[in-house]
């Protein structure tokens, strides 16, 4: 893919991680690296889940921020349409222990990670250190915290682990 460059998707709940996502996007965007976020894809119109499906299928990797907010959940009809349109997605995820009834309650941000896995894309999971500041509209609930904890446990169960927690938006290269 050297001739076409690299396509990345940064997955996060904007209310929680916008600052970190935007800093990472600025650092990674280059002539040969295209970096997209969900808000870019919403501008295209149509069903958000199907738009995410099409873009993530064409990506090389997904950077998946996982914190305490799960984000909004697609309409049941969007999930049903995806699984009818793409039975391979449902089958691949079922082999990994994620059943269709679970997928009905998965948020858009969680879907971004599951779509990466179902399309065999590189998935880099990043989590914050406990002391990391969050966005001004950061408002987790007990339900969102539980949803995210369950999401991370499902990922661990199939050997997808978060990197060591990040502590700031400083992503300067390490000095040796």
The tally of domains found in the chain comes to: 1
Q: Residue 98 pLDDT > 50, yes or no?
A: yes
Q: Is residue 81 part of a domain?
A: yes
Strand 6-11 with 61-65, pairing: parallel
Range in 18-22, 78-82, 160-164, 165-169 with the lowest mean pLDDT? 165-169
Please indicate, yes or no, if residue 166 is contained in any of the structural domains: no
pLDDT at 47: 87
The answer to whether 61 and 124 are in contact (CB under 8 A) is yes
Confidence check: pLDDT of 172 > 70: no
**Residue 176 included in any domain:** no
pLDDT above 70 for 2: no
SS3 of 12, please? coil
Angstrom distance (rounded) from CA 48 to CA 42:
6
Domain contains 168: no
72 in any annotated domain: yes
How far is it, in rounded angstroms, from Cα 117 to Cα 2?
A: 22
Residue 168 to residue 26: CA distance in whole angstroms: 15
Burial of 82-118, coded b for 16+ CB within 10 Å and e otherwise, reads: bbeebeebbebbeebebeeebbeebbbbbbbbbbbbb
Give the Cα separation of 45 and 26 in Å (integer). Answer: 24
- Mean pLDDT throughout 82-96? 93
Q: Would residue 103 count as lying in a domain? A: yes
Of 158, 80, 81, give the one whose Cα is nearest residue 118: 158
Q: Which domain holds residue 68?
A: 6-157
- Which of 65, 52, 22 is CA-nearest to residue 112? 52
Residue 169 forms part of a structural domain: no
Over the stretch 106-151, which tens digit does the pLDDT of each residue have?
999 999 999 999 999 999 999 999 889 998 999 999 999 999 999 9
Q: Tell me, what's the pLDDT at 45?
A: 64
Quick check: is 19 in a domain? yes
Residue 171 has pLDDT above 90, yes or no: no
Degrees (nearest 5) of the Cα angle 96, 100, 102? 80
Summarize pLDDT for 7-66 with one digit per residue, the tens: 999 999 999 999 999 999 999 999 999 999 988 887 666 789 999 999 999 999 999 999
pLDDT band at residue 169 using 50, 70 and 90 as cut-offs: confident
Question: pTM of the predicted model, to two decimals?
Answer: 0.91
């Amino acid at each position: 893919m050297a001739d076409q460059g690299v396509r990345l998707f940064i997955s996060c709940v904007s209310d929680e991680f916008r600052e970190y996502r935007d800093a990472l996007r600025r650092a990674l965007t280059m002539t040969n690296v295209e970096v997209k976020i969900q808000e870019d894809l919403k501008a295209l119109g149509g069903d958000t889940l199907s738009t995410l499906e099409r873009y993530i299928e064409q990506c090389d990797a997904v950077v998946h921020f996982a914190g305490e907010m799960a984000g909004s959940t697609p309409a049941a009809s969007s999930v049903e349409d995806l699984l009818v349109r793409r039975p391979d997605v449902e089958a691949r995820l079922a082999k990994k222990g994620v059943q269709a009834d679970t997928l009905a309650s998965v948020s858009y941000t969680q879907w971004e990670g599951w779509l990466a896995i179902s399309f065999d894309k590189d998935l880099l999971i990043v989590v914050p250190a406990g002391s990391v500041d969050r966005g001004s509209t950061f408002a987790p609930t007990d339900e969102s915290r539980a949803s995210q904890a369950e999401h991370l446990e499902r990922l661990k169960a199939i050997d997808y682990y978060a990197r060591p927690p990040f502590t700031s938006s400083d992503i300067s290269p390490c000095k040796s």
